[in-house]
Structure 1
Amino acid sequence: MSDTGSVLIWVILIGIMTASPGAAERPIVTFNPNWAKVFTGESVTMMCYISLAHQNQTFSWYKDNKQLSVNGQTYTISYTGTEHTGNYQCGTTFYETSGISRLEVIYGYLILQVPPFVYEGDDVPMRCYSWPGYSVRRTIFFKDNAVIRPLKADTNLIIDNVNKDAAGKYKCVKKSESSSDTSYTDESFLYVKDLFSSPEVNQTPYPVTQGDNLILTCDTVLSPLRQETELHFAFYKDEQYVQRFSLSNQYEVQSAQLEDIGKYSCEVKTLSSRVKKMSKAIHVQIQELFQTTEVRLTPYPLVEGDHMTLMCYTSLSPLKQTTELQFAFYKEGRIVQRFSSSNQHGDCCAQLEDSGNYSCEVKALNNNIKKTSKELYVITQELFSKPYITEILYPMVEEDHMALLCNTSLSPIRQETELLFAFYRDGWDVQGFSPSDQYEVHSAQLEDSGNYSCEVRTSANSVKKRSEEINIHVQGTKYRRYELMNITRLVAAFLIYVACCFITFKYC
């Protein structure tokens, strides 16, 4: 056979075998015996192989693109001639036409027979077959003009566990037993077809959001003629195992989280590990279900009595806008509002003790995704200082005028606040709340003695503060008469003394 003819066959076979995975449903023409080259006069049966049969299916046969007057799933040539050399195809009513399978019928002395369909991992037989009656038995085998088996009497060669590197041009040479000068040569091409296609990793869903069940599938396509082959699958993340070899071509990440982001690949092998293929890596991105949360305060600055509102801010992924979120609030790490659908925590009347570090936490209702905000330090400023009571007029005795003042100082940022004042004696109110910060008794009595305090509050009663007590003691009028009598006596004694001195001085 000429080099030109061999090259032509090689090109045709490459075109057949490199069909896309989508062509796997096409029929395939197989030969029995399983040789792509035979001598004239031999019998060959072709079969139109399909992976899935249909009822009422009919078959058509073609040679060199011309339809043959033959029907049925098999086509037999009982006595081959050189005219039977050609490109054979078959078609069915349910499938497109098969790829080309070429048959070479040779009238000559020697042929190198190789199978028309060889797959990765196969043990491939070759036969350096001579015309019956010719005593040429010592055989040398070559691949790409390099000796792969030296001269031996055996005319057969088996190449174990072939891979893509086994594809190429093979040649056999037979030498005569009687004369070293007599030899015959033939060449054939061997193409190693994919046992299964290069695997691809596909993810579901796409894109992935936190909390989704991420499923990675290792997709490959077995050759229709090797559907019984058992494949095993493994998965890797950033080149590290995440699922070792098993029959499952899926790897599932339940409730995917941000730490599951990475480059994923898969590997497929046969049970015997003769054939292994690794996929390209895909980069799996996982979108946040909601953004990092933030707690905010209104109003700011916060003053006693204000309606304090804490709000927990976040933003849902555009892909999950229907997700129901729940919010909780904490002060100094202790919960102050349990999870609910409200993103607000309010206190109608802020007090000084409400100062502290606040944070909020957000979670999705239907999964375990939670995020906690940074702490926000909240300080509550005094609306007014703690009051203290002072005496404007202190009654010494009964009927004196008594006046008390309740002192406090408003915050500069709340100067418009209206304050009300009340006064108490021994815990009982003596003047109810009013705008006046003074308490007066025009004629004090003994019963006005006691422990006095004052209280200040806002008109809305949102803030209330009481002063410490001061003691007021009112003395009776008898004390005043006794005091006047003593003064009179002292004055009289002084006058007598002065008179005595005058008299004494005159007579002396």
Structure 2
Amino acid sequence: MELIELFCIICFTALCTAIDESGIPKPAIKLNTAWSQVFYTERVELSCTVEGSSEWNITWFRDSKEIQADHVVLSTDGTTLSIPAASVVDAGKYMCEGQHKNRTLTPYKSDELTLKVDEIPVPSVALQTPWSAFFTSESVELKCSMEDSPDLWTYTWYRGGVSLGSEGSDLTISQVRPEHAGQYTCTGQLKGRPVKSEHSKAQSLEVKEIPVPSVALQTPWSPVFTSESVELKCSMEDSPDLWTYTWYRGGQEVVQEAAVSFGSEGSVLTISQVRPEHAGQYTCTGQLKGRPVKSEPSKPQSLEVKEIPVPLVALQTPWPDVFPSEKAEMNCKMQDSPDDWTYTWYRGGQKMAVQEPGVSFGSDGSQLVISSARQEHEGEYNCTGQLKGRAPVTSEHSKPLSLSVYDKKPTPELIQDPGHRKMYAKESIKFSCKVSASSGWEFHWFKDSAKLPNQGENYTIPSASYVNAGAHRCRATRGQEPPFTTDSNTITINVEERPRATVTLLTGWSEVFSADRLDLKCEVHGSEDTWNYTWFGGSEQSPLSFNAKHPVMSKDVNQSHYSCMGNRSSRPLYSQRSEPFKTTNLLLKRRVLLSISGCLFFGIIAVFIGCIVMRITRKPVTSEDKPEEVNLFLTRAELQASDVAPCPLAEYVSDEEKPALTKDAEDIDPVCHESTPLPLSFSEVEAETSETNGGLKSFKY
């Protein structure tokens, strides 16, 4: 019983709570859409119900103001309020009021329902990597998200306004390429609802080719020498600080060791004391910090390493020994790039002072000049080289060069060959100028005070004449500005003419007409020595004979000129050649005289015969009429007795004008004897010579 009473009490209490004080049911308002957050343009539906009765008129209120039907869509019974496209004006506090259709009851309002209408959010695109520029082959991830309730949305991606056809908040490009670069945007779509956002702000995606680093030699010179420090730098043109670097030599990775170190993320390679094994082709690669991007190797940078060269000392003057007061000059040079070095000189292993008396050095020390040599300058010279501006590079000492200094000046020796002081014309004379010490001499020749043309160590007079007579000497010189000189002894020579050979005719006049040859004789006058003789004919240079006498046959008409010369074994070895002896006139006159003699002979015979004929045939005459006979032909006795009788042969043969014989000329024998010599003065007869097969000359008159 008690249980029943308790149950009744509970039911009565529940009934009392469902009916207000007046007993009128309360309207209930609710949002019919499945989501409480409404966005612009979205459809919204509200419903208002009164429990226990359907005979109610429903009135809708927003923010205590009745909602007019023209702004919303109401159902037929008014219990449903629809907003086709929500906007900001649709937001507010909604409630509904129920009015009974048949009864006059006090209207009763529902509880308020707040409707919030939000703007459609705009998504944002963000790179998930801390860098915006990507290199090819890298992975790229972009995220599209809404700030509020991102899980309620689906997303669509665009590049350059063109849909990529991909959905999801994340966009991943596993191996980016240059064509992936561009402006990326996204839009959001509410899941299960026709709410689509605008495009997000664009996110720029930059895609670059992986750069190739470059290697540069930081030291301003190449090649480098052993013990020098070398620095190479590897760098990227774009954002070099984002990279770390790896070095290679000849394709093998360079590791850190005692002389090799790296700096600035490996971009600098330093070799503190370079050695020949450090030479080669250096390359480097870049690795992006924290990113799996590795570049291609750079172009190779050649590093040439050389051993420090040793300078060479050479004499500028071409002799290693000098005389007191003579100039000496030597040079210290590197064979390769000599202008990059400065030089230091040593004598006898001791460093030479820069201000040493009598010694001067070139601007870079490469030249050493001794202006006036002395004994203390003798010794062994060497040098070292230092690279300009590169203090640690100093060469070893060069090989020594020995310089000798004589204690006195040399005297040239003048030698004559042959050594006769009296020379004959056309003889050859050779002078030699000898300096027994050192080398590199030039010789100058003098006769008396006149300078002769230079002919080197020897001076030859091929054919002496009187102009070559005089005092001869030589001078030896070497070097320049001024040259070192020394004079020789003096040799004086005299030059005389050679004795001349002469030709005489040995054949007498009577023999000219009776003999068939002429005999010529060669003599050298003014000398009592014994001579040998050589005969020459015409223009022929070949000897005809070698006797003192030479016969000329009458048949040798081709030989018109004969000359001779003497020779012997003692000086002078030969004489001057004689003047040519001309046999042309003599042979011509011989023929002419023979012709005239024949004519006279036959003429006398003809006259004699005519006289006989006349004696026989003439009539006798009386003694009174007979004239005195004249004897046309004188006897020899009469001719000898006559003082005016000429020698017709002599007058005809001679071409000289003879003075008329007078009685005072008693010392002249007027008689023409056979032994009377013929005069030897002939006038020139023009002769043209021509060669014959026998080599003789013919005369043409």
Q: Same fold (TM over 0.5)?
A: no
Structure with more strand by fraction: 1
Higher relative contact order (CA 8 A, sep 6+): 1
TM-score range, shorter chain: 0.3 to 0.5
